[in-house]
Amino acid sequence: MGAVSASLDDLPLRADLRGLTPYGAPQAALPVALNVNENTHPVPEDVADDVLDSVARALRDVNRYPDREFTALREGFAKYLGHGLSADQIWAANGSNEVLQHLLQAFAGPGRTAFGFAPTYSMYPLLTRATGATYQAGTRGVDYTLGAADAAAQIEAADPDVVFLCAPNNPTGTPLGLDVIEAVYDAANGIVIVDEAYQEFAPRESRSALTLLPGRERLVVSRTMSKAFAFAGARVGYLAADAAIIDALRLVRLPYHLSALTQAAAGAALRHAPAMLAMVDEIVAQRDRISATLDALGYQPFESWTNFVLFGGVDDPAATWQGLYDRGVLIRDVGLPRSLRVTAGTETESTAFLDALASLGPGGARV
Ligand SMILES: Cc1ncc(COP(=O)(O)O)c(C=O)c1O
């Protein structure tokens, strides 16, 4: 056999996948990695010990398939979320990406359309197209905000089968009012997914879309353990919705999609929710410090209810990204004009980013 490998063009790939680019946040082992909105604080030692014990116990039975219904974990999520939710209204999968994929497999697919308000989470179009559906991008106002009347009008015109509302929004950090969610739900005939991946970083008094679930059988609220919960490597996402939606997801999931080890690890981490979430206030403080310092440096940070900050006023985003990279700091160029996005890390990491950026001079680096 020769060493020559085929290119995608040589393969009988589905026509609708030709020309697509895979998800590709650069991975690099830099000392300060603030590019994919993780919680950069390690799992507390005593929690890690308990997770390890649970995984070790699960390993003894790993010759058997796991609980296909992951009942104990669903009960754990129902209790954690509150709002009177019960286990039959909960679903979980390997990251909220897989939760979203299950939703799209059940409610999008060939001949159907999913809709998101750009700029928003870059996986929505990729996940949509992978099910054979069409993705349609709506628009936002200045500063990436979205008003109820505008959003509802766009949904009425497009009449999509699935709507994504990222609340607060990635990559901009923008909060989304519950009035917008209500208006979009009323205007839509399809499923409305509120992606609350970053909800734990929103102000304490802000209401979750979970409060809107009663009486809205097409509304879904998705969450993840990857952000505030400091569990990105374990790959666990979940959602709350009407029990009938959960029945629909059983039609598309692979049998035993959540491994026994994942179920054990997630269940143990959930039992320690307060300890796992203990760093949220510190991260929010760093986020606000980053925004204030960026402002003082002459950049334009956008309002953020998340664990990251999008900032404008960057003369040359690619050169500035590279300048930071060369100083050991990895952030994200999300392709928005004159802007970059940085995750709020520990105090030390946040300081390293701010110092490195300041060292590039006003407006950042230029080629
Ligand atoms: C808005 C949003 N939703 C979902 C996800 C997916 O997270 P995970 O699959 O790790 O749960 C992310 C990750 O960055 C995100 O930003």
Domain locations in the chain as residue ranges: 24-41+279-359, 45-273
For residue 328, the 8-state DSSP code is T
What are the Cα distances from residue 273, in Å, to 9, 65, 91, 155? 47, 27, 18, 37
Q: What is the pLDDT along the chain (367 residues), one digit of tens a residue?
A: 556 788 888 999 999 888 888 887 788 889 999 999 999 999 999 999 999 999 999 999 999 999 999 999 999 999 999 999 999 999 999 999 999 999 999 999 999 999 999 999 999 999 999 999 999 999 999 899 999 999 999 999 999 999 999 999 999 999 999 999 999 999 999 999 999 999 999 999 999 999 999 999 999 999 999 999 999 999 999 999 999 999 999 999 999 999 999 999 999 999 999 998 999 999 999 999 999 999 999 999 999 999 999 999 999 999 999 999 999 999 999 999 999 999 999 999 999 999 999 999 999 999 8
Q: How far is the CA of 128 from the centre of ligand 1 (A)?
A: 15
- Tell me if 232 CB under 6 Å of ligand 1: yes
Nearest CA to ligand 1 atom 7: 96
Best of 39, 96, 195, 223 for a ligand 1 pocket test (most atoms within 8 Å of beta carbon): 96
- Tell me if 226 CB under 6 Å of ligand 1: yes
Query: What residue spans of the chain are helical by DSSP H?
Result: 45-59, 71-81, 96-107, 123-130, 148-158, 178-187, 243-250, 260-271, 273-276, 280-296, 317-326, 347-359
- Tell me if 238 CB under 6 Å of ligand 1: no
Task: Report whether 305 contacts 175 (CB < 8 A).
Answer: yes
Task: Report whether 284 contacts 345 (CB < 8 A).
Answer: no
- Tell me if 39 CB under 6 Å of ligand 1: no
- Tell me if 195 CB under 6 Å of ligand 1: yes
- Tell me if 237 CB under 6 Å of ligand 1: yes
- Tell me if 128 CB under 6 Å of ligand 1: no
Q: Is the peptide bond before 168 cis (omega within 30 degrees of 0)?
A: yes
- Tell me if 317 CB under 6 Å of ligand 1: no
Task: Report whether 163 contacts 115 (CB < 8 A).
Answer: yes
What are the Cα distances from residue 342, in Å, to 12, 43, 333? 39, 21, 9
Nearest CA to ligand 1 atom 16: 170
| Protein fold of 45-273 | Aspartate Aminotransferase; domain 2 (3.40.640)
Q: How far is the CA of 110 from the centre of ligand 1 (A)?
A: 24
- Tell me if 96 CB under 6 Å of ligand 1: yes
Q: How far is the CA of 96 from the centre of ligand 1 (A)?
A: 6
Specify the CATH class of 24-41+279-359 in words. alpha beta
- Tell me if 277 CB under 6 Å of ligand 1: no
Q: How far is the CA of 36 from the centre of ligand 1 (A)?
A: 9
Hey, which residues does 140 pair with through a beta bridge? none
Closest ligand 1 atom to 236 CA = 11
